[in-house]
Chains A and B, each alone.
Chain A
Amino acid sequence: MNTVTPFIRAMNAIIWKDLAAEWRSREMVSAMLVFALLDIFIFNFALELNPQVRASLTSGILWVTLAFAGTLGLNRSMAVEKDRGCLDGLLLAPVDRTAIYFGKTIGNLVFMLLVAAIIVPIYSVLYNVNLFNLGLIAIIILGAWGYVSVGTLLASMTVQARTRDVLLPVLLFPVAIPLLVAAVKASGGFLDGSAISDIAPWLNILVVYDVVFTAVAFMVFDYVVEE
């Protein structure tokens, strides 16, 4: 109990700090949102297909948009810590360093889900597809958690590098491929109205990916940020 309390307190402090700073600047969410909206507008005009084909592409377009917008947010989230030396400020605190990781990850998840909450209704209108599906929402949450859990870990590594803006996508996309494939397939399954038995394998991959990468990050974050 005595060790959990400082952990939760530090994690909450980091989440509060990230949300408060973003509320003031709106830099990260604005950048993510502009990118995401441009993305779905371009796809909308580029893919002048019949409604059935467009509907079948929905999950792919949605996850490409979320993944690229999420990468922008992940880069920015760690760059803010590095630019004014704040990462050292966090590392100097007498708390379990995994509390820093989970604080940053939950903050990044909130921003990614916020962007998803804005683009999904716009996408529904533009593509004339009903995306208000509980299964799809669950997949977005599972997929976003997997993406930010591995992304926050990699961003903490690449933030030390001069070429961090390029390095993060180069490292993140190959690692995130199983997650994105599973998310696209599971989302498509829910939108097509497929049987849950058809979706279950992709759902399992998503859950296993989330558990494995959260556990890996929990174990290695301390070493990743060590100088």
Chain B
Amino acid sequence: MLGWASKTDPTQQNITLMIEVNHLVKRFGPKTVLKNLDFQAQQGEFVALLGPNGAGKTTFLRILSSLSRQTLGEVIIAGYSLPHQAAAVRRQLGVVSHLPLLYGDLTAEENLQFYGRMYGVKGLEQRIGAVLELVGLAPRRRDLVRTFSRGMQQRLAIGRAIIHDPEVLLLDEPHTGLDQDACEMLDNVLRQVAARQRTVVMTSHDLVRVADLASRFDVLSRGAIRASTPRLGLPQDGLLAFYREALNTATIAPGGAP
């Protein structure tokens, strides 16, 4: 009904590795931001990437999204490697960042039309209608984006990111600057996206908010993944303890500085 590509029942399909990162290193001049980082995400997984400021979360997502090039290491998304098959990778990706990546002087509908054309989306008008319904902005489709609140812009940013029905959705702290109601609306949209077996990787500082959203929690600190746990194995209210323990481990890693 919403114009999404149909997915098979997750219990009956083969689990596919959608993101595979091996020994990733990223240096900016003399500063090494990512240090031998390994990461994997299966199809349909919702991974919350937690970590303090400066841990390298945004840099990691920019490399996954092909906006930044790794110094060393292997990045494979949906079977395509970066940076050599960047265009094929981009076709599989939807990205939501701190900024909405929307044009204020275009309407919500025109923004989606523009990005839909850039991605070569077939049946674009129908798809735009479906996406606007999904993000709850159908009544505002002909309003200029500069008249939208921050929450509405962020919901439209998700609509922009999924206009081409990507297999992988990357979100960099999408809740930043949103009030409680806007956060809840955003979470509902993310749940609907995740329910369609898309792979989601979301960075966040808000442990309470991601606790109900993600199916797995990874802690990135000092340039590497320090700990990872599925939500199922975590006791209620255990995320904070897990996070603190992961950060402490990172601080006193064996063999010197982490």
Contact = CB atoms under 8 A, between A and B. Distances in A.
Interface in A190-218: none
Contacts of A84: 99-104
B257 interface: no
A126 interface: no
A91 interface: yes
B154 interface: no
A110 interface: no
B69 to A, nearest CB: 7
Contacts of B120: 6, 9, 94
Contacts of A48: none
Contacts of B95: 88, 92
A17 B87 contact: no
Nearest to B89: A94
B118 A20 contact: no
A92 B93 contact: yes
B115 A85 contact: no
A89 interface: yes
A38 interface: no
A20 B114 CA distance: 11
A76 to B, nearest CB: 12
Contact of A21 (B67, B100, B103): B103
A185 to B, nearest CB: 39
Nearest to A90: B118
Contact of A92 (B65, B88, B144): B65
Interface residues of A, number: 28
Nearest to A100: B118
A118 interface: no
A17 B69 contact: no
A187 to B, nearest CB: 34
Contacts of A25: 105
Interface residues of B, number: 31
Interface in A80-119: 80, 84-86, 88-96
B103 A88 contact: no
Contacts of B144: 24
Interface string B95-116: 1011111111110001000110
B248 interface: no
Given A20-B106, A94-B90, A85 B67 contact: no
Nearest to B120: A6
Nearest to B99: A85
Given A227-B62, A227-B68, A88 B101 contact: yes
A92 B110 CA distance: 18
A96 to B, nearest CB: 8
A24 B97 CA distance: 26
B117 interface: yes
Nearest to B93: A92
Nearest to A82: B99
A133 to B, nearest CB: 36
A88 B87 contact: no
A12 B90 CA distance: 20
Nearest to A226: B69
A24 B142 CA distance: 13
B100 A227 contact: no
A132 interface: no
Contacts of B204: none
A50 B149 CA distance: 59
A15 to B, nearest CB: 11
B114 A13 contact: yes
A85 B110 contact: no
A88 B97 contact: yes
Nearest to B117: A13
A92 B67 contact: yes
Contact of B110 (A14, A20, A22, A80): A20
Rank and list the top 9 A-B pairs by shortest CB-CB distance, nearest first: A85-B99, A89-B101, A13-B117, A93-B118, A21-B105, A94-B90, A94-B91, A24-B105, A227-B68
9 contacts: A80-B103, A85-B100, A88-B99, A89-B102, A92-B65, A93-B119, A94-B90, A95-B87, A95-B118
Interface of B: 62, 65-69, 87-88, 90-91, 93, 95, 97-106, 110, 114-115, 117-120, 144, 160
Given A16-B114, A88-B67, A88-B97, 7 more contacts: A20-B105, A84-B102, A85-B101, A86-B101, A88-B95, A91-B67, A92-B90
